């Protein structure tokens, strides 16, 4: 069991950085971040385990740092996905999980069996960029947006959000309208904004909890 300390969360922008990261950390994981809310949700799940387990994480934004992403696929023989979590031991892949399969149920036995626990909670610096959501919610509450305009803009913003967020932030942000992937036929399938209850009250509650 290791002492609580800052969590290693390191960007890997080149193949060389990938190799050095895995050399520096005999046990580590690589997280490939995509371009939509699946990344936000997947990392949120991982973040809950990083509070309790000691595991350095190197992350790759696959669109921006494509050579690094391709290098991981080539060196491991693992087909690329995003989001994707790969656990390494001494530079060799031990476990992988992808997309919506990044769940507490999938990760719990892996962490409990293979990753050392911490003695205290980690300090994890995730993406702290909820201000666009705050601004949108304030504009709606101030009467600058109709219910329909707010719903459309909020769901679009959330769907395209690939930030590395804590599970708490993800849960709060998804509370208003749920998973956009449930509306494959278009956002009109969401129905009326008020169908889930008093929208303004729910928006105010989320805004208050975001702080």
Q: What is the pLDDT of residue 129?
A: 84
- CB burial readout 13-30, b (16+ within 10 A) else e: eebebbeebbeebebbbb
Percent of the chain residues topping a pLDDT of 70: 85
Query: If you average pLDDT over every residue of the chain, what do you get?
Result: 88
Q: What is the pTM of this model?
A: 0.83
**Banded model confidence at residue 153, pLDDT cuts 50, 70, 90:** very high
Does pLDDT of 195 surpass 60? yes
**Banded model confidence at residue 146, pLDDT cuts 50, 70, 90:** very high
| Whole-angstrom distance, CA of residue 120 vs CA of residue 6 | 10
Phi, psi of 7 (to 5 degrees): -75, 135
| Whole-angstrom distance, CA of residue 186 vs CA of residue 205 | 27
Percent of the chain residues topping a pLDDT of 90: 75
Does pLDDT of 2 surpass 60? no
| Whole-angstrom distance, CA of residue 53 vs CA of residue 199 | 38
- CB burial readout 52-76, b (16+ within 10 A) else e: bbbbbbbbbbbeebeebbebbeeeb
Q: Please, what are the domains in the chain?
A: 9-114 (3.40.30.10), 131-210 (no CATH)
Question: What is the full DSSP assignment across 61-112?
Answer: ETTT-HHHHHHHHHHH-PPP-SSEEEEEETTEEEEEEEGGG--HHHHHHHHH
**Locate tokens 């911490």: which residue?**
118
| Whole-angstrom distance, CA of residue 141 vs CA of residue 125 | 30
pLDDT in tens, 158-174: 999 999 998 999 999 99
Q: What angle do CA 141, 142, 144 make, to 5 degrees?
A: 105
Instruction: Judge whether 162 and 37 are in contact, CB under 8 Å.
Output: yes
For the CA atoms of 146, 147, 149, 153, what is the dihedral angle to 10 degrees? 130
| Whole-angstrom distance, CA of residue 177 vs CA of residue 188 | 12
State how far the alpha carbon of 45 is from the alpha carbons of 40, 52, 156, 157, in Å. 9, 12, 22, 20
**Locate tokens 């309208």: which residue?**
177
pLDDT in tens, 71-112: 999 999 999 999 999 999 999 999 999 999 999 999 999 999
């Amino acid at each position: 069991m290791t002492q609580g300390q800052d969590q290693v969360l390191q960007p890997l922008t080149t193949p060389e950085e990938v190799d050095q990261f895995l050399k520096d950390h005999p046990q580590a994981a690589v997280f490939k971040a995509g371009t939509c809310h699946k990344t936000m949700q997947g990392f949120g799940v991982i973040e809950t385990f990083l509070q309790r387990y000691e595991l350095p994480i190197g992350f790759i934004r696959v669109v921006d740092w494509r050579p690094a992403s391709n290098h991981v696929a080539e060196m491991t023989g693992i087909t690329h996905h995003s989001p994707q979590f790969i656990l390494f031991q001494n530079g060799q892949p031990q476990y992988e999980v992808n997309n919506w399969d990044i769940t507490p149920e999938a990760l719990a036995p892996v962490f409990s069996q293979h990753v050392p626990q911490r003695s205290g909670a980690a300090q994890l610096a995730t993406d702290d960029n909820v201000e666009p959501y705050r601004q949108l919610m304030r504009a709606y509450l101030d009467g600058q947006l109709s219910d329909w305009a707010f719903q459309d803009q909020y769901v679009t913003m959330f769907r395209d959000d690939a930030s590395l967020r804590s599970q708490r932030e993800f849960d709060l942000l998804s509370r208003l309208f749920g998973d956009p992937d449930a509306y494959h036929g278009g956002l009109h399938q969401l129905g009326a904004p008020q169908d889930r209850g008093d929208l303004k009250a729910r928006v105010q509650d989320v805004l208050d909890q975001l702080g």
